[in-house]
C-alpha cells in the first residue's frame, strides 16, 4: 500500500515492539471438562492477571471502583436471570457452562488474593466484595482490532485479524492449545479474559472478534458480549452464533464476530454484529472476490444497531471507517491486477503502516493472524506484534 502515513519511529519502532513482546507462547492444556480446563487456565495466567488487576485498580478512584463493581454485579444478575428463561435448552446449557467456567477460572487465578488490597472495599452496598466480582470486572473489556474475510477461487476463504491493546494488558502474546474430551481448540489469550474474545479456531471453524462502539446505555448492565464469543468458540459448530446472540439480549456492550466454517462440500463465512438489543447478519456471498471487512464500527449506519446503540464520536467513527476504506482499496487493486488475493498479498496488507496509529501495523498491535479455509482443512498463521513483510510466522492447521 502506497502513500502511507508512517507510524512514529517507522519500522524500527515496530521491530522494537516485537522484540519486547517476544515470540508467541503456546500454552498447552488438557482436561476432561471445560470447567477443569478453565481452572487450569486460571492457574497458568495467575501472575499476569493479578498484576493487570492491581495496575488497573490503581488507575481508578474509589468511586470509579465502586461504580465498576456495581455495573458488573448488575451484568451478572441479568446473565443468571437470562440463563433461567432462554427458550433454547442448548443455549441455556452453554450459558450455564460459561458461568461455571468463569468461577473455576477465578478460583484458579486466585483472585481472592486481591481482596486484601487497600484499593478494594471489603463490602459494597452491604454485600462482601468477592473474587467472582473481580472476575466479572475483568471480563468487562473491549479491545481494538481489524478483521476480514475474502472468498477466492476454488472455494477458499482467506481471513485475517489483528489484536490491538492500548492498555498494556498483553505482557506477551499467548496462544492457548486446549484439548477437551479429545477435541482440540486454539485461542489467542488476553490474560484477563476467558478464551474466545480475540481469534480462535478448531479443525472446522475460525472466528475473529472485533469490539464495537455500541452499548445498551451508559452504565446500563446487560449480558457481556464476550459470553457470546466464549459460547461461539466452544459450541459454535452446533449452535448458530446469531441464535446465541439473540437469546442473550440485552447486551451491555457489542461485538462483531467474523466466522468461517468448512463442510465437506463448501466453506461458509458470515459476520454477526450485535449489541444492546439489536443484531445484524452479513453472510459472505459465494462469488469469487466477495469480502467482509471489520474495524470496530457498525457496518450499516442506517441500522438500529448503529442508530440506537452507537456511542462512537463522529471523529472516532470517521477514523475507523477510513480503515475500512483503505482495506477495500487494497483488495480492489489485488483483484484488478491478479484476479485474486494471495497469502503473500495478505501479508503485505497486514504489514501496511498507512494510516499511522490506525494502520494495520502499529505499535499497539500485540499479535496478528491470517490463513485460509478450504473443504479440506483450515490453516492459520500467527505472528507476534505488528506484522512486517519479512515475518515468517508459524503455521497451525489441519
Q: Where are the alpha helices (DSSP H) in the chain?
A: 10-21, 34-44, 46-59, 62-85, 89-108, 131-139, 225-235, 241-248, 304-309, 314-338, 343-350
Instruction: Tell if the pTM clears 0.85, that is, is over it.
Output: yes
Q: ∠190-193-194 over CA atoms, to 5°?
A: 115
CA-to-CA distance for 115 and 136, rounded, in angstroms? 14
Q: Is the peptide bond before 250 cis (omega within 30 degrees of 0)?
A: yes
Is the separation of the CB atoms in 309 and 321 below 8 Å?
no
How far is it between the farthest Cα atoms of the chain? 66
Which residues on adjacent β-strands are paired with residue 368?
162, 383
**pLDDT tens track, the chain, 398 positions:** 333 344 555 899 999 999 999 999 999 999 999 999 999 999 999 999 999 999 999 999 999 999 999 999 999 999 999 999 999 999 999 999 999 999 999 999 999 999 999 999 999 999 999 999 999 999 998 878 999 999 998 899 999 999 999 888 889 999 999 999 999 999 999 989 999 999 999 999 999 999 999 999 999 999 999 999 999 999 999 999 999 999 999 999 999 999 999 987 899 999 999 999 999 999 999 999 999 999 999 999 999 999 999 999 999 999 999 999 999 999 999 999 999 999 999 999 999 999 999 999 999 999 999 999 999 999 999 999 999 999 999 998 66
Which residues on adjacent β-strands are paired with residue 31?
180
Q: Which residues contact 359 (CB under 8 A, 6 or more apart)?
A: 4, 5, 7, 326, 352, 353
69: left (phi over 0), alpha (psi -120 to 50) or beta: alpha
Amino acid at each position: 500500500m502506497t502513500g502511507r502515513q508512517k507510524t512514529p519511529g517507522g519500522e524500527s519502532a515496530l521491530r522494537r515492539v516485537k522484540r519486547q513482546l517476544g515470540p508467541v507462547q503456546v500454552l498447552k492444556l488438557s482436561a476432561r471438562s471445560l470447567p477443569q480446563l478453565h481452572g487450569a487456565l486460571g492457574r497458568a495466567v495467575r501472575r499476569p492477571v493479578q498484576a493487570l488487576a492491581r495496575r488497573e485498580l490503581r488507575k481508578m478512584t474509589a468511586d470509579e471502583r465502586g461504580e465498576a463493581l456495581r455495573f458488573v454485579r448488575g451484568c451478572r444478575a441479568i446473565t443468571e436471570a437470562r440463563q433461567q428463561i432462554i427458550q433454547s435448552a442448548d443455549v441455556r446449557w452453554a450459558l450455564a457452562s460459561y458461568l461455571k467456567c468463569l468461577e473455576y477460572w477465578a478460583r484458579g487465578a486466585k483472585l481472592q488474593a486481591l481482596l486484601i488490597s487497600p484499593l478494594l472495599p471489603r463490602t459494597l452496598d452491604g454485600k462482601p466484595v468477592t473474587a467472582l466480582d473481580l472476575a466479572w470486572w475483568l471480563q468487562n473489556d473491549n479491545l481494538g482490532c481489524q478483521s476480514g474475510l475474502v472468498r477466492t477461487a476454488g472455494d477458499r476463504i482467506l481471513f485475517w485479524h489483528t489484536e490491538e491493546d492500548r492498555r498494556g494488558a498483553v505482557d506477551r502474546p499467548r496462544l492457548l492449545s486446549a484439548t477437551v474430551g479429545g477435541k482440540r481448540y486454539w485461542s489467542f489469550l488476553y490474560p484477563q479474559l476467558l478464551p474466545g474474545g480475540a481469534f480462535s479456531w478448531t479443525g472446522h471453524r475460525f472466528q475473529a472478534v472485533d469490539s464495537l462502539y455500541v452499548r445498551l446505555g451508559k452504565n446500563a448492565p446487560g449480558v457481556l458480549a464476550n459470553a457470546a464469543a466464549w459460547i461461539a468458540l466452544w459450541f459454535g459448530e452446533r449452535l448458530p452464533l446469531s441464535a446465541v446472540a439473540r437469546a442473550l439480549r440485552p447486551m451491555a456492550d457489542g461485538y462483531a464476530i467474523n466466522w468461517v466454517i468448512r463442510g465437506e462440500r463448501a466453506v461458509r463465512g458470515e459476520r454477526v454484529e450485535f449489541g444492546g438489543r439489536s443484531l445484524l447478519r452479513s453472510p459472505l456471498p459465494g462469488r469469487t472476490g466477495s469480502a467482509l471487512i471489520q474495524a470496530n464500527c457498525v457496518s450499516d449506519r442506517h441500522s438500529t444497531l448503529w442508530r440506537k446503540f452507537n456511542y462512537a464520536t463522529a471523529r472516532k467513527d470517521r477514523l475507523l471507517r477510513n480503515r475500512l476504506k483503505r482495506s477495500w482499496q487494497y483488495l480492489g487493486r489485488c483483484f484488478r491486477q491478479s484476479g485474486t488475493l494471495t497469502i503473500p498479498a495478505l501479508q503485505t496488507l497486514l504489514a501496511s503502516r498507512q494510516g499511522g496509529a490506525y494502520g494495520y501495523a502499529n505499535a499497539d498491535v500485540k499479535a496478528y493472524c491470517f490463513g485460509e479455509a478450504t473443504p479440506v482443512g483450515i490453516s492459520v498463521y500467527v505472528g507476534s506484534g505488528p506484522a512486517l513483510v519479512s515475518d515468517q510466522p508459524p503455521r497451525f492447521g489441519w
